[in-house]
Structure 1
Amino acid sequence: MALYSSRKEQTNPESNSVADGSGLSGSNGSDLFLAARRIVGWAVLAGAIFWAVGQARGLFPSQTVRLLGRETVLTGWTKAAWAAEVSSSGPANPMRAENTKQADGTEQVVCQAGHTDQAGQKDQAAQREETGHTKQAGQKDQAGPREEVGQQQAGQKGPGTQTLPAEAGRWLVRLMVERAAQTRQSLFRLVSAPSDYYRTDYGQVICQTDQAVIWWCEAGWKVPRQRPAPEPAQPSEPKSPAHSSPPKPQPDAAPPEAKAGPQPDAAAQLAACRNDREAVQVVIRPVQALRKLSAHISDWVGPEGARIPAGQTKILYAYYHFVHTPTDRTGVRDWWPDALPPLRQDQPLDVPAGQNQPLWILVHVPKDARPGLYQAQLTVQAEGFQAAVPLRLQVWDFCLPDRNRVETALGLSPHLIFQYHNLKTEDEKRKVLDMYFQSFGEHRISPYDPAPLDPIRVRWLPEADPPRAEVDFSAFDRAVQQALEKYHFNTIMLHVQGMGGGTFHERYEPAIGQYTEKTPQYQAMFSSYVRQLEEHLRAKGWLPMAYVYWFDEPDPKDYDFVTAGMERLRRYAPGLRRMLTEEPNPKLKAPVDIWCPVSPNYNPQQAEKERTKGAIFWWYVCCGPKAPYCTLFIDHPATELRVWLWQTWQRRIQGILIWSTNYWTSDAAYPDKPQNPYEDPMSYVSGYSTPKGAKLPWGNGDGRFVYPPLAAAVPGKTAGPVLEPPVSSIRWEMLREGVEDYEYLVLLREMLDRHRNRLSPEQVRQYEALLEVPPEITQDMTHFTTDPRPIYHRRAQIAQAIETLSKM
């Protein structure tokens, strides 16, 4: 596993410029400001320790209040700070969902969740906590966390309730009170800006009735449950998504009441080339609770009656997970959408009033689709409700290849699949594993091992003269051939027996049975074995895709061991690519073909030196990095994984690696029964000598891009096998989008190279400019867009350039 450890130095060797554009992630202040924030964080930690010691010794009289939906004990200096803040009138940062609008337009902060000073209303925080998960029709609420909130009727203040004016120094109250006994990281989050998760400057209303508002937005947003519907659109000329410019963000504001019925020119819009997949979100926000919600889609009808069958479109729905512990300062404790189960006709949804329920419309454009504008209709229906949602799809006149050029290598655990799906027989295992491989293929991702049930079989002959290995490739060849032809994987990780291996935590020595590395029997058998590997893969044409990944994240103490292993591989099978999850280091002399550092440790200067020696670069993310880098976490903006692929292109990196895609449980955190990944989105440490029962967080969603079907969320719950495909996620779809973006850039570069001699110097400059990643998408490793619209805009420009060049 490519696992990040705190021993790794998270230094960014690139420019540390400040982002000027709105929607860019990163630190928007000077180094002095950053230093001040660190000082504040450490000061708060010291204060928390002082408070805890004093409280334990009974030194401080206490007062209990409900703040931000939780009971909080105020003692000593925090009690005094609370009193001071009540009378404060200084400027402050806005709180998230704890603010309420008053009739006169003023804003108030309510310090007990679920109560306001306005009769008949509840604040959004209480509404969010009371509702729970979206239900299947006719069923009880899905198992999920419930927050303890005040249950008094609106207009009645509970005991200890205090109301602050919005202009009070609220951030200081939060800093001192909200999590005084939590870790330094959690405390440090309190001085950060409000999360981008709550922005409301995107989306378009399609129609509104007295039962529901239906609106749409790009797939690159994570829509909060309680987010209000967008402002109704004004009449305008419809734009093709191929030529749309990203709209300018507008200040957050409470939208006016929308007029009933369909909005002018409103349609959910997508754009894609042939053999591409594209998604859009249609959001249902009931005014009154909707029971048994379902949806179906028509064929897509295009130029001259051309059709894309409805079967090429999937209708998924966003499943909300409650994040108890935010991953880092970017995340917030709230319901976050991630899993995307299919919306099945036999399992409709119940959607409570006042909550968003995004539907994901995911279309695959066939290779032979005629270019042009297509239209389809999504019919949404529930008991006593029905609405028709228009959809528009622009198909560009070029085709993505089946196999992408950016190399991908992501882990997949068959053991966990078999456990959660309750699979016993080989036929069951193969059938369901193929469903997972199908998902990998559709998302242009290659698993580490394309043949986990059909390994290369080796018979060791130490008594032969000379000692040798007999290698049987027959089952392996059949499985790999299918994986490459059917799913179009582009990498193959080799398990090299007898090689030894390990991680920075522990390692095991090379050996074949009783024969250690120094014995002549080992040397003869190992050399015979790996030479056959190389020769066979070369004969099959698979050698350029194969790589050996035998040691993970070495420490300096491991450098000699790693160097010896890499030298052994190079000596006996120089054509097998040797990959190492580490950045180049002058003290590490190993002959590495593929360097794969964790993303913050990529150093452009080091990389150029290694490239002159013939090496290439991949990179990876896992439980680290965390903010302010692009990450893989549930409680981060959806754009991050997609932007990561633009950063990959920008730095001439040729591959990406992630340690796991189905890390659903931790044996340490859940020693007695497996974790339900729908109920608990946190990924916990396992292995590394972690004691049983210890819940040490890696981050929400780390190593978890696909989910087991809902019927298999708890292993052993069903009597028989669950023969269903995996459930996708927003992050799985965003990773696919990023890989497709990379392929658009590769196609443009190839087209430009093909026609360069037929273009004027000015035309060449214009096309070359499109191969550069604009700062609106990413300025450097820590400043990038959290708004997907600049990505869609640039992608459309690249698509139009490819269309133009392809017609020359």
Structure 2
Amino acid sequence: MKRYPKYFIAPFIFFLHIACKNADPKPIDSTEPGSEAKESLNGSFESKFNRYTRGEAFTGKELKTWTDTAWKNDRIHKQLILWTDKNIDDLSYEVENLKNGNNVISASNIKLRFGQYVIGDQVPTGCGEQTNRASVEIADALSLTPVNKINQYDPLKIWITIDVPEAIAEGKYTSKIHVKTGGTTQQTFNIDVLVVNRTLPKVADWKFHLDLWQFPFQLMKFNNAQPGNSRIEPFSDTYFKQLEPFYKLLADAGQKSITAYIKDGAFLKGETMIKWTKNTDNTWSYNYDNFDKYVETLMSWGINKQINCFSLAGWDMNYIGYFDAATGNSANLNVEIGSVAYKTIWNDFLNDFKTHLRAKAWFGKTVLYLDEIREENLAAVINTIKENDPNWKIGLAGSHVSSTNESALYEYSTILGTHSNTNFGADKTATFYTSCTQLIPNNYVTPQNNPAEMTWMAWYASNNELDGYLRWAYDYWTLSNPMNITDGGNTAGDFSLIYRSGNTYPNQPLSSIRLELLREGIQDFEKIRILNNSGAATSIIQHLKYFNSSSGANASKLVNTGQSLIKKTSAFP
């Protein structure tokens, strides 16, 4: 049994799995009414898809039992809402093991996290249209910071996550959560998890291709901007220690690709992993020390399928920063895509880079990636790359390119609703992405966006025979307040999928409801694939047809129905 002391009242996440004692257990996600609330503390289980703003009251039917179905090696979620008619400042929790006779899932597999408010937007808008924004506080960050207080004006949102072990017997497992004040139980909530005889593969073996682009200089920059902080140098030991928990969280979500910067100006000026030097004899040399260290480190953290290299056409298309050995100063080139100068400098780099990658046995993992580049520029970049070596792999996030250009791509991520797999085979990767142009579905944090939209993404990919999902920013924070995600003129959430605990090292990542539900959708994708391969997914495949480019507004209903079909099929094949 695991006890949460009274000072440990933080965002509540339980990884719970229920297996079978009854002869005919119900393989669905459901709840049952329980006993009346004691004293002034009340609570109820709540859908994981219901998003709460500050002060928003629970209005549903009070439910004291969470019943769910899980695979071995699965992860499941539920919300628990607590409210009171008076202030309480000594809450504590006790979580029991999940038991099925002599079989036990430890209470340590039940994770409690508490919903922390972030600054979101009242309504979603298109790219750059949040010019006169109306902000609202929304529970999305999942904090492990202890919380032991609740007031009558704002319910407490607890996110429960249960990790089901792989090596566990199937059956019905039961547990209880006791919510206490002053050490005395005020509310008890029951958990029943049916663990079925199906096993979800390890994260590293998932087929879904998740690509959330990383911005690994942001954490360091926030630390270094704080007066009195010790400066963190890029690619130092401290730099990687700061990044580690953030990118291990990303790896655990199923991330496949490393975002690597191969030139200064790939995204922002002054940021690169490869140092370009123009020598005194006008030849060029390239230092890969930081690139190697970065790639090797992220691979050791579990992100190791692909190295996406940005870019022969970066955010600043023609800019290449470098060190001029003749002057001893930093300088820059501005070479127009398709020009002789462009081809000359990039051919020189690609020859050297290719030799280095092959020496590291990374050439086959490397993809030269491009972001929403215009068709005429795309053709010029592809020609430059393929003339250097036809074996280079090219990736693109974009849409509506010519069939000639499309056929040259190894990975093609198209904007939602525009995918084309005409020229793609088993040896290529086809994904989709959402950008600031889609209002719903998206990873926005507004009352109008349902977090189920994130789970919907993988169902959409499954229906459209796509390999995965891409989003341009995992951690591109630009505001000093870690809980303010109204970056730029785009809708809140567009710039990041997780949060940071603060701006000073050592800071920690805070996952989000959005990221957790995106991961859950990927689990669904893997389950559908496995069930379909065994011929057991007929009803699920029929339901998949509803996940089209215009169905995101119904994400909660569609995903709930789909997940119920997976659970039913898994328990009664």
Q: Is TM more than 0.5 here?
A: yes
Cα distance, 1:643 vs. partner? Answer: 0.6
Query: Residue 795 of structure 1 aligns with which residue?
Result: 566
Deviation at 1:647, TM superposition (A): 0.6
Task: Calculate percent identity across the aligned residue pairs.
Answer: 14
Distance 2:467 2:176 in 1: 40
Is 1:610 the equivalent of 2:407? no
Aligned to 2:305: 490
Query: Equivalents in 1 of 2:303, 2:167: separation in Å?
Result: 19
Structure 2: distance between partners of 1:394 and 1:332: 44
Q: Which amino acid aligns with 1:703?
A: F
Deviation of residue 412 (structure 1)? 2.6
Q: 2:451 aligns with which of 635, 638, 644?
A: 638
Deviation at 1:478, TM superposition (A): 6.0
The equivalent of 2:65 in structure 1 is 267
Q: Does 1:592 align with 2:409?
A: yes
Q: Is 2:540 the counterpart of 1:770?
A: yes
Distance 2:307 2:439 in 1: 29
Q: 1:574 to 1:366 in 2, by over 3 A?
A: farther
Change (3 A) 1:769 1:573: farther
SS of alignment partner, residue 380 of structure 1? strand
- In the alignment, which residue of structure 2 is the partner of 1:424? 231
Which runs of structure 2 are paired with 1:167-206 in the superposition (5 Å)? 205-206=33-34
- Quote the RMSD (CA, aligned, Å): 3.8
Match of 2:372 among 553, 571, 579: 553
Q: Is the 8 A contact 1:206 1:215 kept in 2?
A: no
Q: Please tell me the residue identity of whatever aligns with 1:231.
A: K
Distance 1:427 1:615, change over 3 A: closer
CA deviations on 1:55-109 (whole Å, 9 max, x unpaired) are: xxxxxxxxxxxxxxxxxxxxxxxxxxxxxxxxxxxxxxxxxxxxxxxxxxxxxxx
1:269 Cα deviation after fit: 3.1
Structure-2 separation of matches of 1:770 and 1:726: 35
Instruction: Please give the per-residue CA displacement for 1:8-48, whole angstroms capped at 9, x wherever unaligned.
Output: xxxxxxxxxxxxxxxxxxxxxxxxxxxxxxxxxxxxxxxxx
Q: TM-score, normalised by structure 1?
A: 0.55
Amino acid of the structure 2 residue aligned with 1:317: F
Q: Does the 8 Å contact 2:347/2:388 carry over to 1? A: no
Shift of 1:510: 7.1
Of Structure 1 and Structure 2, the greater strand share is in 2
Residues 282-291 or 438-447, more deviating: 438-447
2:88 alignment partner, one of 273, 290, 302? 290
- Change in Cα spacing, 1:424 to 1:569, as seen in structure 2 (3 Å) is same
- d(CA) in 1 for partners of 2:426 and 2:387? 17
Shift of 1:203: 6.7
Three-state SS of the structure 1 residue aligned to 2:537 is: helix
Tell me the residue number matched to 1:676: 481
Q: Which amino acid aligns with 1:290?
A: I
Aligned CA distance change for structure 1 residues 573 and 655 (closer, same or farther; 3 Å): farther
The correspondence for 1:316, drawn from 103, 107, 113, is: 113
Is residue 210 of structure 1 aligned with residue 27 of structure 2? no
Shift of the 355–409 alpha-carbon distance from structure 1 to 2, 3 Å rule, reads: same
**Cα pair 1:221 1:637 within 8 Å, conserved:** yes
Q: Tell me, yes or no, if structure 1 residue 226 matches structure 2 residue 56.
A: yes
CA contact (8 A) 1:778 1:785 kept: no
Q: 1:569 aligns with which of 381, 385, 392?
A: 385
Deviations along 1:564-608, one digit per CA (max 9) or x if unpaired, are 1112212223333211221133498463222222214x14xxx14
Q: Give the superposition deviation at 1:223.
A: 3.8
User: In 2, distance between residues paired with 1:460 and 1:535?
Assistant: 24
Q: After TM superposition, give the deviation of residue 290 of structure 1 in Å.
A: 1.9
Which amino acid in 1 is paired with 2:481? N
1:320–1:338 contact (8 Å) kept in structure 2: yes
- How far, CA to CA, are the matches of 1:662 and 1:285 in structure 2? 33
CA distance in 2, matches of 1:336, 1:617: 34
Q: What TM-score do the two structures reach when normalised by structure 2?
A: 0.76
Relative to 1, partners in 2 of residues 1:231 and 1:612: Cα closer, same or farther, differing over 3 Å?
A: closer
Q: Secondary structure at the match of 1:784?
A: helix
Q: For the structure 1 residues 343 and 789, does the alpha-carbon distance in structure 2 shift closer, same or farther, using more than 3 Å as the test?
A: farther
Residues 1:507 and 2:317 aligned together: yes
Identify the structure with bigger relative contact order (alpha carbons < 8 Å, sequence gap 6+). 2
Greater Cα radius of gyration, structure 1 or 2 = 1
What does the per-residue CA deviation read over 1:328-371, in whole Å, with 9 as the maximum and x for residues that have no partner? Answer: 49x99754221111143xxx332111532121111222232332
State the shift of 1:446 in Å.
4.4
Which residue of structure 2 lines up, in the alignment, with residue 529 of structure 1?
352
1:528 is displaced (CA, Å) by 2.0
Q: Which amino acid aligns with 1:298?
A: E
- 2:94 aligned with 1:279: no
- The count of corresponding residues between Structure 1 and Structure 2 is 503
For the residue of structure 2 that corresponds to 1:728, the secondary structure is: strand
- Residue 209 of structure 1 and its aligned partner are, at CA, apart by 1.6
Q: Say if 1:439 and 1:616 are closer, same or farther in 2 by CA, change over 3 A.
A: closer
Looking at structure 2, the residues matched to 323 and 527 of structure 1 have their Cα atoms a distance apart, in angstroms, of: 43
Change (3 A) 1:781 1:388: closer
Contact 1:338/1:634 (CA < 8 Å) preserved in 2? no
Q: CA deviation at 1:626?
A: 0.8
Once residues 571 and 209 of structure 1 are traced to their aligned partners in structure 2, the CA distance between those partners, rounded to angstroms, is 75
8 Å CA contact retained: 2:43, 2:62: no
2-side partners of 1:216 and 1:290: how far apart?
20
In structure 1, runs of 5+ residues without a counterpart are 1-135, 138-201, 234-265, 666-673, 685-696, 716-720, 753-763
Query: Is contact 2:44–2:80 with CA below 8 Å preserved after alignment?
Result: yes
Residue matched to 2:340:
518
Change over 3 Å in CA distance of 1:615–1:443 after alignment to 2 = closer
